[in-house]
Amino acid sequence: MRAVLQRITKAEVSVDGEVVGRSGPGLMILVCAMQGDDAATAEKVAAKIAKMRIFRDDQDKMNLSVRDIGGSALVVSQFTLAADLRGNRPGFSTACPPDEGKRLYEHFAAALAREGVPNETGIFGADMQVSLVNDGPVTIWLDSASG
């Protein structure tokens, strides 16, 4: 599973001009289920993100998690994180097939909530418009295959 986390003051996702999910302060999480991922992978990534200390403490050090600050998350599926860039046109064959990708995306969001991070989501497979205010900026890329 691949994810891009952005520390945010606020974020929202719209489909056809209607806001379908929002968050803030907390995290914007773009997530992609990869071939070979399963429910355990989604749970492992959710647990890691919930504990990741990327928020400032009272001494201005990145020492607090999204849970510690009472934050929330906006979780948006993004299969393009699976991009294979060997040529000029990216390929996405390493992403899970859509049905499995949707199941794992929803499982990830539910696992994140069980980890104490309330979240809202976009709509899997929809053409979404995402807006956010990146706090810091802090942006972190995570790949479960890397450890």
| Three-state secondary structure string covering 31-95 | EECECCCCHHHHHHHHHHHHHCCCEECCCCCEEECCCCCCCEEEEEECHHHHCECCCCCCECCCE
**What residues does 21 pair with on adjacent strands?**
13
Is-catalytic flag, 79?
yes
Is-catalytic flag, 92?
no
In this structure, are residues 88 and 134 in contact, taking their beta carbons and an 8 Å threshold?
no
In this structure, are residues 142 and 44 in contact, taking their beta carbons and an 8 Å threshold?
no
From 6, 41, 55, 78, the catalytic residue: 78
Is-catalytic flag, 35?
no
From 55, 79, 108, 121, the catalytic residue: 79
From 80, 92, 129, 139, the catalytic residue: 80
**Residue positions annotated with a catalytic role:** 78-80
